[in-house]
A and B are shown apart, each in its own frame.
Chain A
Amino acid sequence: MNILTHNPPVNKPSTNTWRRFKRDRAAIFGTIVLLTIVIAVIFGPFIYTTPIDKIDFARSAAPPSWQHLFGTNDLGQDQLARILYGGRISLTVAVAAMAVAVSLGTLVGAIAGFYGGIIDNGLMRLTDLFLALPQLPLLLLIVYLFRDSIRAVAGPELGIFLLVVLIIGCFNWMSVARLVRGNFLKLREMEFVSAAKALGAKPQRLIWIHLFPNVASIIIVAATLAVGNAIITESTLSFLGLGFPPDVPTWGRMLFDAQNYLTSAPHMAVFPGLAIFLTVLSINYIGDGLRDALDPKRR
């Protein structure tokens, strides 16, 4: 009797995952760095109140000093303030683009994997086609061709934001779709699905209540890595001069501006570049740590 009342230690999956994630030093390093960057970018501009657009030709392209910690750019604008502000844009674009990519991918993958047959075939051909498209050239082309018209509709900043988020999202959903589909195909043959079906569950309920939670961990890993990918894509676009307007300082745009001052002002390239590098590196470490921690085979 005594044994029955005694509660065995509960091994909740989430605490297990956290324990394994904690053991991964690289992933913890990534989490700390990323959190620091996110907090700096969100709260930094409130504390560090130097304006991002105050032009001062007397101090143009000045190296780092106490007054301007990261130096100034060719117009004498403070680089630290611009990096903090630009980080807000780069990170928002990346997270929004990831959300677009992951929702599209999950939707396509879930429908293809659940219904199978001709629907699956059609959707997978579409996925293959998207994978065969030359991404970067098309991204450049679409931004160049459509930025003026979307600017006229939604304003210069919001317009470019929407355009960049949508196209990065629409070119990155394929890997998520394949992952979700593959797992749905495996899962839908399992007994708990037959049981739910026998109880009269509708397809909608089967997909979202029964199958989706089982692929959530895979989606989380893919989503993390998609954020890093989106940051690189957005800065590539800005670096090639096809991102946000020149007065909006994104990290890629700052590197684009720094190109012509590599001899006289290398700090103009180093700090924004480091910001991109550290953010992407820490996101990749977190993604890797999550993959190991969430993988049931490694328990």
Chain B
Amino acid sequence: MSQYLLKRLLISIPTLIAISVIIFTILALAPGDPLGEFASNPAITAEVRENIRRALGLDQPIPIRYLKWFWAFIRGDMGYSFTSRSPVLNLLLQRLPTTLWVVGSAYLLALLIAFPLGIISALRRYSATDQIITTFAFLGFSIPPFFTGLLFIIIFSVQLGWLPFIYNSTLQVTDWSTFLELIKQSIMPVFVLALYQSAVLMRFIRSSVLEELNQEYVRTAYAKGLGQISVLKNHILRNAMIPVVTLIALDIPAIFTGALVTEQVFRVPGIGALLIESIYRSDTPVVMAITFIYGLLIVAFNLIADIVYGVLDPRVRY
């Protein structure tokens, strides 16, 4: 096991390096001076400018710049933002809790919706219930999240006036009523994200359970006289969940990039919104850091999915 883990870890390191090289090259090859806007900005003092120049080594050739960036990144130094004068790391840490809160609750909600519905629709396949659930899943992943978001705003904020329009970033949770406010303003972004994710998961869970239903061990379990619930719980789900758990891990990075759009619709001040702002402002250090963090998430969860698969499925040999 530990040897397998080590091997997988060693494979993911070159992948990460390749991803960072690609992002760096795209940024470096882009026409125009990345510091153009920054140099003409009188609000930035010579001292900060000097700091950035030293951190980025902009006068040096691309490979050297890359190595310097890489070395600094490993030590946790992501450089300074061009526009807000603060270290990129601080900016990220400011935004990260909001994104984690929205993405985390959305994923939890998606799982809570997808598991029961997916299992029911597999057990009652071709029934009316199954048709309704699969149609719902189909609608869920055909509707682009930004349209769901706008529709939700039109229905629940404009027409019904139930929920706030825009996410209030200055809200501090101190007591019960502010907590309720936080819940109220999170409902729409969380549901938009959860709708799409649960649709994807539901289809996967359904087909995964269906695959097990006709296996011989299921027939044996029924022949032993076990009830439907215990066959489902102890036999079918144990096997059907192996690929599902892997998919859940593999899908987590996707929900982070999906949050990018949702954050934009509801003006949620998360890292996705920060990325888009920074792209518009040509704030290269922030863009580089966030894009690389997304890549890091993908590689990390690929690794986790591999490990989980190995732990859950005893047939996998290391």
A interface, CB within 8 angstroms of B? 26, 128-129, 132-138, 140-142, 144-146, 148-149, 228, 232, 235-236, 239-240, 242, 252, 255, 258-259, 262-263, 266, 269-270, 273, 276-277, 280-281, 284-285, 288
Contacts and interface: CB of A to CB of B under 8 A. Distances in A.
Sorted nearest first, the 3 A-B pairs with minimum C-beta distance are A134-B294, A145-B30, A273-B147
Contacts of A136: 257, 260-261
Contacts, number: 117
24 contacts: A129-B18, A129-B19, A132-B19, A132-B302, A134-B297, A136-B261, A137-B291, A137-B294, A141-B27, A144-B280, A232-B144, A235-B144, A235-B146, A239-B261, A262-B154, A262-B158, A269-B150, A270-B151, A270-B154, A277-B143, A281-B142, A281-B143, A284-B142, A285-B138
Contacts of B31: 145-146, 148-149
Given A133-B22, A133-B295, A140-B275, 8 more contacts: A129-B15, A137-B294, A138-B22, A239-B261, A262-B150, A277-B142, A280-B142, A284-B142
Interface of B: 15, 18-19, 22-23, 26-27, 30-32, 138-139, 141-144, 146-147, 150-151, 153-154, 157-158, 165, 253, 257, 260-261, 264-265, 275-276, 279-280, 287, 290-291, 294-295, 297-299, 302
B300 to A, nearest CB: 10
A236 B146 contact: yes
Contacts of B138: 26, 281, 284-285, 288
Contact of B15 (A132, A138, A277): A132
The DSSP consensus for interface residues of chain A is helix
A137 B151 CA distance: 24
Contacts of A135: 257
Contacts of B139: 281
Contacts of A148: 31-32
B291 A255 contact: no
Given A134-B257, A140-B279, A145-B27, A236 B144 contact: yes
A277 B147 contact: yes
Contact of A132 (B142, B157, B287, B299): B299
Nearest to A277: B143
B266 to A, nearest CB: 11
A266 B279 CA distance: 29
Contacts of B295: 132-134
B146 A133 contact: no
A273 B151 contact: yes
B144 A134 contact: no
Nearest to B257: A136
A134 B259 CA distance: 13
B218 to A, nearest CB: 20
A239 B142 contact: no
A144 B261 CA distance: 16
Nearest to A231: B144
B264 A240 contact: yes
Contacts of A242: 279
A195 to B, nearest CB: 35
A232 B144 CA distance: 6
B30 A146 contact: yes
Nearest to A130: B22
Contacts of B27: 141, 145
A273 B146 CA distance: 9
A258 B261 contact: no
A134 B18 CA distance: 12
A280 B139 CA distance: 10
B26 A255 contact: no
Contact of A142 (B15, B26, B32, B142): B26
Contacts of A140: 275-276, 279
Contacts of A263: 158
Nearest to B253: A134
Contacts of B279: 140-141, 144, 242
Contacts of A277: 142-144, 147
Contacts of A280: 142-144
